[in-house]
Structure 1
């Protein structure tokens, strides 16, 4: 290890326990509301609307989806309050986290006037964000009521844009960005957050829904094959967005490849990267191994095999992805500061940087398209083998 380089790097400060818990909890809340609502709208709802599904299967999944969404609203509401207190504790000269939990102090923070040079008060931004957060949570918590569950689709689709707004509002700067790079930082941060929460949250929702297999009929495999197929496309888009935005963020915060193991920040980033790659690998198993077999069982009308693949084998790999995703959320609070040397600012984006970035993005997009087409080709081959 290059001890000289490590000594020259900006000192790393381990965040306090309350900061670790509040930040992880906040992202867990976002995974719940964003991941659950997007996955329900993009994968679950279209599959449930298929006319060939049995009413009992549809009712069971709707009921479990409603309860999952309702609990996601509770988690976001609690996590949002603690996150707001954490922001107050870190604002200005700071204060003990316990003092920041007092509602009166929180309200004073939200109503504080704008700083000199700011176009809007930072507290006002957080006030609007938390109003939207409360509305999002309320829309989902209503689903605890059996009467409100009759309007599950409307409430879920209402909460979806609200949940996205929760994180987008927090990214609004109180002062004008000093350069175009700062704008790109904000954009890529939000792309990273939204795609990551959709990916992890979607996995959690589908794992929760798969827990209802004892309440489903023997023909539910067809329904679940459609759900997994639709979510695979959602996950593929999320993988591309996570990797693309992650490359930008890493480039801004890491000055050289060696800083991944010679700085504390770099080590945490390396751990996070390995966890994400593990999730990608698990998703690859689903895409290249399970999806073709599901397609073959679906074509052969092998009800028992289809049910086993969709509600036993697939969820097992999904749970492995969830464990890795939980590890990612656990590492996120430790990614504070930067791995760059003290006095070494983050590089600016030039024409050549954009050209290289565009080439990488195009290469990644092409590889994801190849992945989708290869999975589809394997599915057709499995189907041809049964005819």
Structure 2
């Protein structure tokens, strides 16, 4: 790329301040820990712990470790939420130093400020409600630090899950009426992208952390964990579909041509994010097409040693790789500011019937590919079983 192209790519792009990078990354880490862990516990861990093949001793070990993780996820969410709120204050209006924005008094003034002209609700009020819900979610999770509360892990996780989801949904409420349908879709797809991404990344981190307790589990724990991985694989496929579907819309809105991916700063950052996400998908494909069929095979022939090795040692190693890539994605997100279209001087994206038709075709293709992923994985498992016998 020439110096002229680099200068053109830098035009219109503003590198975020260090505090903005740290607070936004931290906020998404907090959301990933809270939403990802509670959703994964509800959809994958708790049902497996209550399954017929789960020994009560193993279930208790995993439940205790899950409770500890959830408690710390609540603490991280609380701290990250406060710093994110201060960062919003620092960027509001004429702005102020981030250190000054950390003062509780300044934050209170910001949250209680009246609505601006043309707004149906004050922006501070939206953030006030959002952070009140965040506080409730964090307290519900942090209650699990108390030994007595851990007897009610399931109930507290179920209580925290809708609250953590509400945190990001409330924060997206517009203070003025959207100008057109495209603005509404921007909000909807933005939230689909966030929720799908944090459940995917946060769920992987949660399960990888739980798997480190394998030394305290019995010899039959492989069956329990194979059930956990099977359930989460379905959750992850839904998340992948959500992230890719919403990502298609958001990419079209912000990138006017494929060449803008390497001729604009926004495009380069987005390209890096895409590569990292594809790396996560590739690692997930290894689990889905290679490990899951072998886990199913070992379970069907009652090979407990192989099942334990695959489910508790081999599978988590791949998952830790996905977690590392996911953490890198969260680190890239704060740098996705502005738009490649504006940097390149392209016209703003405007939806039309043809755009929706192409989008619908791509989404249907994605759904079909995810469906074939599940069917192919099942077929590989069935094909491997007779050979083992």
Structure-1-length-normalised TM-score: 0.98
Separation of aligned partners in 1, 2:35 and 2:17: 27
Task: Tell me the CA shift for residue 11 of structure 1.
Answer: 2.1
Separation of aligned partners in 1, 2:319 and 2:6: 38
Aligned residue for 2:42?
Answer: 41
Separation of aligned partners in 1, 2:29 and 2:264: 27
Give the match's secondary structure for 2:341.
coil
Aligned residue for 2:310?
Answer: 309
Equivalent pair of 1:110/1:127 in contact (CA under 8 Å): yes
Query: Equivalent residues in 2 for 1:83-232 (5 A)?
Result: 83-232=84-233
Aligned residue for 2:373?
Answer: 371
Give the match's secondary structure for 2:115.
coil
Task: Tell me the CA shift for residue 51 of structure 1.
Answer: 2.6
Aligned residue for 2:353?
Answer: 351
Q: Number of residues paired by the alignment?
A: 387
Aligned residue for 2:264?
Answer: 263
Equivalent pair of 2:264/2:340 in contact (CA under 8 Å): yes
TM-aligned CA distance change 1:185 to 1:251, over 3 Å: same
Aligned residue for 1:328?
Answer: 329
Equivalent pair of 2:223/2:307 in contact (CA under 8 Å): yes
Aligned residue for 1:383?
Answer: 385
Once the two structures are overlaid, the 10-residue window that deviates more, 234-243 or 8-17, is 8-17
Equivalent pair of 2:254/2:349 in contact (CA under 8 Å): no
Equivalent pair of 2:8/2:264 in contact (CA under 8 Å): no
Separation of aligned partners in 2, 1:82 and 1:168: 18
Separation of aligned partners in 1, 2:78 and 2:275: 31
Give the match's secondary structure for 1:233.
helix
Structure-2-length-normalised TM-score: 0.98
Give the match's secondary structure for 1:340.
helix
Q: What CA deviation, in whole Å up to 9, does each residue of 1:325-359 have, x standing for no partner?
A: 01100100000111113554421110110000000
Unpaired runs of 5+ in structure 2?
A: none
Separation of aligned partners in 1, 2:117 and 2:123: 11
Separation of aligned partners in 2, 1:372 and 1:51: 24
Separation of aligned partners in 2, 1:131 and 1:378: 48
Aligned residue for 1:69?
Answer: 70
Separation of aligned partners in 2, 1:141 and 1:234: 25
Separation of aligned partners in 2, 1:52 and 1:240: 31
